Amino acid sequence: MHDGGQAKPTNVRGLEELENAFRDAYRREENNGRIDLKTKAANEDWTTTLALVEKAAEALHIAQQRIKELEGRGDEIVQATRAQLQKAKASINAAESRARKAEQRANDAEEQAKQPREWLTRIHEGLEQLPLPA
């Protein structure tokens, strides 16, 4: 996370300092691997360690608040999106219904126009068969 001369965010820097303070405060004994408190270094670093723990706790608290805010905003967005989706579905259904009705009216009109067309064709054919006046 360290990019050349850019400073690290306070939370990251604080956590790194906290980790280093813990590493300095404790050491493992060579023989049995038990954790043993350094007396002088530990006493000097406890104040720093406590301050870093408090900073870390505050950073976590702020992060939790932000997460709650983001979750609330996310829920609002989901609800708004669902409402818009329902409106869009209703509009699509209404448009499909209007299209079906219009198609049915067009089919009905075409069917109604067939019979007069047939009669006009018969009349025309009948007129063609009549003798023309001289």
Which residue ranges make up each domain of the chain? 10-127
Q: Which are the contacts of 36, defined by CB distance < 8 A and separation ≥ 6?
A: 26, 27, 28, 29
DSSP class of residue 33 equals: -
The mean pLDDT of 31-54, rounded to a whole number, is 65
Q: Terminus-to-terminus CA distance in the chain, angstroms?
A: 108
Residue recorded with tokens 């329902």: 86
- pLDDT tens digits, 96-133: 999 999 999 999 999 888 888 888 898 888 888 888 77
| pTM for the predicted model, two decimal places | 0.45
